[in-house]
Amino acid sequence: MRGYREHQFHSTTVLSVRKGDQVAMIADGQISLGPTVFKTTAKKLRKINDETVCGFAGSAADCLALIELLEKEFEKYPGQTLRACLSLAKQWRTNKMHAQLQADLIISDPDITVLLDGSGNCIEIEEGVVAIGSGGLYA
């Protein structure tokens, strides 16, 4: 075909599925910059504590900075996932530096799944399924 180019999707996908108090979270391992894939074995899931896992998508440096801040909130509010996430979202929205971060997080424990988006929104996921990243809509 004339003018046809094959396009490849270079997407991050993190998917969390909940049934009752059981949660499964999966993520791809690809790190890319534009159309260039740099790495395919990245770890995009991180345990916050024995019961809480976090998945992230976006700029790697921004994601890791937010996870470090989230871990500090869990130290202040142990066992209180929603409170820790709300506290982080408040910091994100009120500190101009954090408002510019390009990162999304999914945080899940046996009781709750929370989405922290790139605007500092904190959303409790009630339906049991959530996905983030540029491949999130496809998931």
81-94 helix and 60-76 helix, angle to the nearest 10 degrees: 130
- Hey, how many other C-beta atoms are within 10 angstroms of the C-beta on 10? 15
Residue count (the chain): 139
Q: Is 94 one of the catalytic residues?
A: no
Of 12, 13, 52, 113, the catalytic one is 12
- Hey, how many other C-beta atoms are within 10 angstroms of the C-beta on 75? 10
Short-list 55, 58, 88, 97, CA closest to 70: 88
Residues belonging to the active site: 12
